[in-house]
Amino acid sequence: MQLDLVDVFGARAFAGNPLGVVHGAEGLSDAAMLQLTRWLGFSETTFLLPPTDPAADYRVRIFYPAGELPFAGHPTLGTAHAWLRSGGVPQVAGTILQQCGVGLVEVRQDGDLLAFKAPPMARTGPLSAEDLAEALRVTGATPDAVVEAVHVANGPKWQLLRLRSVADVLAAEPAAKAPLGTDIGLCAPGENGLDWELRAFFANGVGSICEDPVTGSLNAGVACHLFASGLAQGSYLAGQGQKVGADGRVHCRIDANGAVWIGGRVDTIAAGAALPAL
């Protein structure tokens, strides 16, 4: 087994969301995958496996400190990058098909970027009064700043609070604890060359609230919602991570067929580290 460390969605190297990618993970148990994920301490770690779907180029399992995810965005781009760098050749030139918990996810090279096709939304529509109250408690957002509160679930069970301004997004002070499975995002129209600004909060393995540096799955859910509701057209650039020292850049676009693509830069930080048996 070998471990790569990559950085995803950064404006430059070391400015995005770090990811561990384990090659040759066939012999690892679920418990060993979770153990390594927790030891590394990143928001997610991925494990490359042979595909079971003949259409797929590889299969990936995505773990975070509380367990396994059916899909996540920055792990999808980071894993595709590591797979290509290690010599992977897609069955269809220019298009990578990743097999994961939500099925097949398409990844394309878009110039210097990689972009994944947003998976179908699993839940949309407004939050209930109870869900909104909990989202406000968890994020610390000011109730008066909320313009819209909706589900944007696409694997992770993301809920979104659209706020009035970047100042409102950055002023939010999250709670210390939340139930496992909590995934809540904030967004507002952006500033300084960015069209939108986001923050993302999730509960880790012990129920503590963590802020994710840059989040592909949340950006995918937000993009699907913004395009569908007419709040965005064509393409836009989102920023994320200011409050945790990151400088994320997420390129979101909708194509002529209505598919939403979420793109970003991926940098290899270290590659080929040998892992001992777990």
Written as one letter, the residue type at 17 is N
- Count CA atoms within 13 Å of residue 194 on its CB side: 21
- 122 lies in some domain: no
Q: What are phi and psi of 190, to 5 degrees?
A: -85, 180
Domain assignment of residue 49, given as a range: 2-117+263-274
Q: 149 and 93 in one domain?
A: no
Q: Could you read off the pLDDT tens digit of each residue along the chain, which spans 278 residues? A: 999 999 999 999 999 999 999 999 999 999 999 999 999 999 999 999 999 999 999 999 999 988 999 999 999 999 999 999 999 999 999 999 999 999 999 999 888 899 999 999 999 999 999 999 999 999 999 999 999 999 999 989 999 999 999 999 999 999 999 998 899 999 999 999 999 999 999 998 778 999 999 999 999 999 999 999 999 999 999 999 999 999 999 999 999 999 999 999 999 999 999 998 88
Q: Are 63 and 47 in contact (CB under 8 A)?
A: yes
Reference 48, options 27, 82, 78, 22; nearest CA is: 22
Cα separations in angstroms, 138 against 110, 141, 171, 208, 210: 36, 8, 13, 10, 11
Using the structure block, give the residue that is written with the tokens 């057209």: 233
- Tell me what pLDDT residue 277 has: 83
Written as one letter, the residue type at 223 is A
Q: 226 and 166 in one domain?
A: yes
Domains of the chain: total: 2
Q: 108 and 180 in one domain?
A: no
- Tell me what pLDDT residue 155 has: 87
Q: 155 and 233 in one domain?
A: yes
Element (H, E) at 222: helix 216-229
DSSP state of 244: G
Q: 46 and 25 in one domain?
A: yes
- Tell me what pLDDT residue 31 has: 97
Q: Are 124 and 150 in contact (CB under 8 A)?
A: yes
- 243 lies in some domain: yes
Query: CATH no. for residue 210?
Result: 3.10.310.10
Structure tokens at 260: 């939403």
Burial class (CB in 10 A: 0-12, 13-18, 19+), 275: middle
Helix (H, G, I), strand (E, B) or coil at 278: coil
- 176 lies in some domain: yes
Reference 261, options 88, 111, 151, 127; nearest CA is: 111
- Tell me what pLDDT residue 126 has: 98
Find the angle CA(177)-CA(183)-CA(185) to the nearest 5 degrees. 105
- 228 lies in some domain: yes
Q: Are 262 and 238 in contact (CB under 8 A)?
A: no
Whole-angstrom Cα distance, residue 232 to residue 109?
Answer: 23
- Count CA atoms within 13 Å of residue 236 on its CB side: 22
Whole-model pTM: value is 0.94
In this structure, the strands spanning 266-274 and 248-254 are unpaired
Q: 241 and 137 in one domain?
A: yes
- 233 lies in some domain: yes
- Tell me what pLDDT residue 111 has: 82
Using the structure block, give the residue that is written with the tokens 């050749």: 89
Q: 69 and 30 in one domain?
A: yes
- 123 lies in some domain: no
Q: Are 240 and 250 in contact (CB under 8 A)?
A: yes
- 177 lies in some domain: yes
